[in-house]
Amino acid sequence: MKARIWGARGSLPVALTHKQIRTKLLAALEGAIGRDLDTAEKIAGYVDDLPFELRGTYGGNSSCVEVEAWDTDAIHEHIILDLGSGVRALAGAKLARYGPGKPQTYHVLMSHLHWDHIMGFPFFTPAYIPGNRIIIYGCHEELETAFRRQQEPISFPVAFHQLGANIEFVQIEPGVPTQIRDVTVTAKLQLHAGDSYGYRLEKNGKALIYSTDSEHKLDNAAERVAFVDFFRDADLVIFDAMYSLADSISVKADWGHSSNVVGVELCQLAGVRQLCLFHHEPIYDDAQISRVLAETRRYAEITGEAPLDIVSAYDGMEITL
């Protein structure tokens, strides 16, 4: 399986400002002084060696992750986790690869129905193309209502019923495995306003967890045990690490999000191989997200528990399990 991040940002899409780009350019150019970068190759090598927060960006699209579980050139079916603004770029990539003439099936697993997780759907061009099939799975009773409502005339010029694809909604139950081809999907209830659900995807002995918009109450031992079981021995956990621990249990308690520190602790208790920090705070710039990543890696060392590989999600990132 492979995870491809299309939207890593929490709550609200953001974009780099001209000042932030200028700051990156100045730092990169100052670092180049005296380095004799007189060929394109040397320049490219220098840029590639710069810290990620200088040469790149974590991106600004809201939650959307693709899971590639089979050869999608042979089997035209795709798995998507959430339909935040990142799904617009996903749609463009699929159309570029397959063209509008080859019908595709999209299996979409919804963590919950808050705006930042559904806002990309009206811009998901495959939904407009007859022949495509879109199956939206979720545990919320209001699943279909949420998608139809955001395309009512007061909010969007194209109504849901005008979409050309065949769109289906499938209600699933937490704890009851669902098959998407040869991938087993199990949902778990999470603490978030209006509820959210994490997903465990398993295939051929590999396991991927998608657990975003999920608050963890530290004094609830039973909940901790339940999440450790849900994460158990996973190859990858994509985890809501939006806040610092201090914020998540003080001024932002009950806001429905978690922290890097709790992500490390749960993953180490569960024997997880890799933790991917996700749902980045929109006010964080690239330097701040890189700082959080470095601190999280350090915390995983300090605990003295099992080694844990840690990455921070960015738009365009690919992780092979």
Partner 1 sequence: MELQPTQEGSTVVLKPSGRIDHTHADAFKLALDPHLADCRKDGASLVIDFSNVSYISSIGLRALMVAIKQVKAQGGRMVLAALQPLVLEVFTISRFDMLFEIFPDRAAALAAVGSAS
Residues at the interface with partner 1 (CB under 8 A) = 218-219, 224, 244-247, 249-250, 259-262, 265, 295-296, 298-299, 302-304
CB of 207 to partner 1, least distance (A): 23
Nearer to partner 1, 187 or 266 (CB): 266
CB 150 within 8 A of CB 49: no
Nearer to partner 1, 170 or 245 (CB): 245
CB of 264 to partner 1, least distance (A): 9
Nearer to partner 1, 43 or 246 (CB): 246
Nearer to partner 1, 180 or 262 (CB): 262
Residue linked to tokens 């491809």? 4
CB of 246 to partner 1, least distance (A): 4
CB of 54 to partner 1, least distance (A): 23
CB of 277 to partner 1, least distance (A): 13
Nearer to partner 1, 143 or 262 (CB): 262
